[in-house]
């Protein structure tokens, strides 16, 4: 899965921080360490599955259901606590889409013309309006919750800049109504290496599935590319095997492995050690993932409860917006 993490809503102190994820499949190890775990560690109050955003590329109804199901189970298996985090599907909060409709009337086409996704498409006559309006719906996702900060990588900063412009344009016409969000630039976003040393990605087919059975996990790890150096020769700690080992291992285990790399160790031995620590850490998550898949009615209940809570906050914002434009008393 390309874990397209673009926002979770987290509320703490005087800040409201939001993030969400497009359903694009079962995540791999790179997704977990690069996006899922950091998002959960924020202690988010709200996290949503951006299923409407996925419609720009997913054109199969059954596939959409499967992708959404897998993503929901994945986040719960990875440690998302629904008693602390409001977890919901974007599609279950209609207030977002009503706000989106209103915002269209103070948002210029010129602003959306500058969006990276639209410009990258290259052929205006074939772009669908879902892709063109993607930044506006994303802005509604953010603005509906009075979000003050959005954690993003440097390459996603434009998303927040567009949301800022949309909020300011509305406020300029109707008065200070919407909170103008600010980006929280994630400067140290982890890049997790794949089997060939490049960034772990499905597009490179170099990923380690997060919930793979032990046999499949071991087989995948054994495919990691190594060189022809002898066991007695020192190995570079920059190698993908050491980097992955350090993600799963305890600090003392990592320190011992580092010494072995410096004095000499066989690649096969390292792969076996990596499998052991990875399987140890992934087994509880794998078991939870299987449990939620087999008891998906529990996941549906969590998402339904999350949607109700999200609707409460979004309704407050929408009521202010509708009052500002004169649609309700």
Q: Of 59-73, 75-89, 124-138, where does mean pLDDT reach its minimum?
A: 124-138
The pLDDT tens digits for 36-48 are 888 888 777 788 9
211-289 to CATH, choices 2.60.40.10, 1.10.240.10, 1.10.10.10, 3.40.50.720: 1.10.240.10
Global pTM reads 0.88
Distance, CA of 104 to CA of 135 (rounded, Å): 11
* CATH annotation of 10-191+295-325: 3.40.50.620
The pLDDT tens digits for 251-305 are 999 999 999 999 999 999 999 999 999 999 999 999 999 999 999 999 999 999 9
Q: What pLDDT was estimated at residue 188?
A: 62
328 — pLDDT class (breaks 50, 70, 90): confident
Average pLDDT, the chain: 90
The pLDDT tens digits for 173-215 are 999 999 999 887 766 667 899 999 999 998 899 999 999 999 9
Instruction: Count CB atoms within 10 A of the CB of residue 71.
Output: 25
The pLDDT tens digits for 219-263 are 999 999 999 999 999 999 999 999 999 999 999 999 999 999 999
* pLDDT, greater one: 260 or 84: 260
In the predicted model, is pLDDT for residue 2 greater than 50? Answer: no
* pLDDT, greater one: 17 or 307: 307
Q: What pLDDT was estimated at residue 204?
A: 92
> What's the mean pLDDT in 301-311?
97
Q: What pLDDT was estimated at residue 45?
A: 76
Tokens of 292: 């939620």
311 — pLDDT class (breaks 50, 70, 90): very high
Domains of the chain: which residue ranges? 10-191+295-325, 211-289
Q: What pLDDT was estimated at residue 71?
A: 94
């Amino acid at each position: 899965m390309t874990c397209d993490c673009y926002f979770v809503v987290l509320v703490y102190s005087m800040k409201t921080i939001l993030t969400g994820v497009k359903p694009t499949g079962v995540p791999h190890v790179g997704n977990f360490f690069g996006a899922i775990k950091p998002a959960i560690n924020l202690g988010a109050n709200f996290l949503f599955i951006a299923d409407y955003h996925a419609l720009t590329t997913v054109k199969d109804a059954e596939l959409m259901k499967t992708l959404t199901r897998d993503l929901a189970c994945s986040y719960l298996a990875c440690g998302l606590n629904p008693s602390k985090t409001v977890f919901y599907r974007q599609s279950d909060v209609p207030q977002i889409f009503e706000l989106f409709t209103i915002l269209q009337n103070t948002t210029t086409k010129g602003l959306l013309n500058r969006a990276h996704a639209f410009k990258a498409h290259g052929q205006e006559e074939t772009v669908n309006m879902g892709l063109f309006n993607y930044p506006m719906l994303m802005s509604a996702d953010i603005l509906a919750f009075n979000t003050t900060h959005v954690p993003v990588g440097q390459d996603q900063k434009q998303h927040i800049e567009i949301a800022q412009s949309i909020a300011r344009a509305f406020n300029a016409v109707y008065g200070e109504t919407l909170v103008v969000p600010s980006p929280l630039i994630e400067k140290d976003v982890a890049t997790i290496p794949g089997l060939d040393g490049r960034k772990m990605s499905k597009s490179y087919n170099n990923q380690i599935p997060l919930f793979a059975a032990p046999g499949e996990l071991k087989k995948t790890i054994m495919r990691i590319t190594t060189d022809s150096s002898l066991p007695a020769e020192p190995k570079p700690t920059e190698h993908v095997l050491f980097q992955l080992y350090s993600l799963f291992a305890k600090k003392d285990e990592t320190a011992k492995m580092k010494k072995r790399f410096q004095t000499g160790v066989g690649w096969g031995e390292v792969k076996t050690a990596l499998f052991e620590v990875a399987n140890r850490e992934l087994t509880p998550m794998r078991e939870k993932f299987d449990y939620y898949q087999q008891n998906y009615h529990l996941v549906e209940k969590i998402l339904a409860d999350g949607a109700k809570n999200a609707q409460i906050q979004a309704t407050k914002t929408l009521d202010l917006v509708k009052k500002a434009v004169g649609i309700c008393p």
